[in-house]
Amino acid sequence: MNEKDIDEEIEEGESIWSEGVYAKTLSTIDPNFQERMKHFDEKKDEKKEHNCKKCQKEIGKHNLYWHEGMCNQCFFDTYNM
């Protein structure tokens, strides 16, 4: 996701610093870059092989890599979304 993509995801009148806005960066030199990018979009049939670090609910790799290892509810509660 580039800066333009991020700008398009943020609603009009908001900024990256607004409450409830969350952005995550990932460097191409990260050894897990390719694996993480495979799971950028959550698939409906994604296997739930991990547990939320807060409530232990089963999560998939999308949440593991892109939601700080939390289920959607814990992630949204943590970041006031």
Query: Per-residue pLDDT tens for 18-65?
Result: 666 666 777 888 888 888 888 887 888 889 999 999 999 999 999 998
- From residue 13, how far is each of 7, 8, 16, 17, 18 by CA, in Å? 11, 12, 10, 11, 9
What predicted TM-score, i.e. pTM, was given to this entire model?
A: 0.62
Q: Are 48 and 28 in contact (CB under 8 A)?
A: no
- Three-state DSSP class for residue 65: helix
| Token couple for 66 | 């892109």
pLDDT reported for residue 63: 93
Structural domain spans, the chain? 3-78
pLDDT reported for residue 2: 46
pLDDT reported for residue 37: 81
